[in-house]
Amino acid sequence: MTEAILWTGGRIFTGERYVESLLVEDGRVAFAGPLPDARRRAPTGVEREELSGRLAIPGLVDAHLHLAEIARARDALDLSRARSIEEIRTLVARWADGHASGPIVGRDWQTDRLREGRPPTARDLDSAAPERPVVLYHASGHAAALSTAALGASGLDRDRTGFRDGTVGRAADGSPNGLLYEGALRALARWVDEALPLSAERLEATLDSLPSVGLTRVGTVSTGPDESQALRDLACSGRMAISVRAYVRLFQLGEYPDPLLAARTDRFSIVGTKAFIDGAFGPRTAWLSEPYADDPSTSGIAVGDEADLAAKIELAAARGLAPALHAIGDRGVERASRLLAPWTGRPGPPARIEHAALTPPGTLGLLDRIRPTLVVQPEFVWNDWWLAARLGAARARWAYLFRSLVDRGHRLAGSSDAPYGPVDPFRGLRAAVSRRDALGRSANPDPGEALGSEEALALYTRGAAEALGDLSEGRLEAGCAADLVVVGASRLSEAIRSDGVPVRETWIAGRKVHPAPPGETV
What span, in angstroms and rounded, lies between the C-alpha atoms of 517 and 522?
9
Q: What 3 state SS string does 463-505 have?
A: HHHHHCCCCCCCCCCCCCECCEEEECCCCHHHHHHCCCCCEEE
Amino acid (one-letter) located at 285: T
Length of the chain measured in residues = 522
pLDDT per position as a tens digit, 199-236 = 999 999 999 999 999 999 999 999 999 999 999 999 99
Inform me whether the pLDDT recorded for 49 exceeds 90.
yes
What span, in angstroms and rounded, lies between the C-alpha atoms of 255 and 360?
38
Segment 318-340 mean pLDDT: 97
Amino acid (one-letter) located at 78: D
Which domains, ranges and CATH numbers included, belong to the chain?
Answer: 4-59+481-514 (2.30.40.10), 76-195 (3.10.310.70), 272-467 (3.20.20.140)
> What dihedral angle (degrees, nearest 10) is formed by the CA atoms of 49, 50, 55, 60?
-20
Where does the pLDDT of residue 500 fall: very low under 50, low under 70, confident under 90, or very high at 90 and above?
A: confident
The DSSP code for 92 is H
Q: CB–CB of 336/353 below 8 Å?
A: yes
Inform me whether the pLDDT recorded for 339 exceeds 70.
yes
Q: CB–CB of 468/217 below 8 Å?
A: yes
Inform me whether the pLDDT recorded for 166 exceeds 90.
no
- Report the candidate in 223, 233, 315 with the shortest Cα–Cα distance to residue 270: 223
What span, in angstroms and rounded, lies between the C-alpha atoms of 348 and 479?
19
pLDDT per position as a tens digit, 235-251 = 999 999 899 999 999 99
Give the N- to C-terminal CA distance of the chain in Å, as an integer.
Answer: 24
How would you class 296 by CB atoms within 10 Å of its CB: exposed for 0-12, middle for 13-18, buried for 19 or more?
A: exposed
Segment 388-416 mean pLDDT: 98
How much is the pLDDT for 162?
Answer: 46
Among the ranges given (154-168, 315-329, 438-452, 503-517), the one the predictor scored with the smallest mean pLDDT: 154-168
- Report the candidate in 100, 115, 181 with the shortest Cα–Cα distance to residue 146: 181
How much is the pLDDT for 169?
Answer: 85
pLDDT per position as a tens digit, 187-209 = 888 888 888 889 999 999 999 99
Mean pLDDT of the chain: 93
Inform me whether the pLDDT recorded for 157 exceeds 70.
no
How much is the pLDDT for 264?
Answer: 87
- Report the candidate in 295, 292, 289, 421 with the shortest Cα–Cα distance to residue 355: 421
Q: CB–CB of 273/248 below 8 Å?
A: yes
How much is the pLDDT for 520?
Answer: 57
How much is the pLDDT for 187?
Answer: 85
What span, in angstroms and rounded, lies between the C-alpha atoms of 391 and 293?
5
How much is the pLDDT for 163?
Answer: 43
How much is the pLDDT for 522?
Answer: 53
Inform me whether the pLDDT recorded for 165 exceeds 80.
no
**354 backbone dihedrals φ, ψ, rounded to 5°:** -85, 120
How much is the pLDDT for 288?
Answer: 98
Inform me whether the pLDDT recorded for 171 exceeds 90.
no
What span, in angstroms and rounded, lies between the C-alpha atoms of 494 and 10?
15
Segment 358-378 mean pLDDT: 97
How much is the pLDDT for 119?
Answer: 93
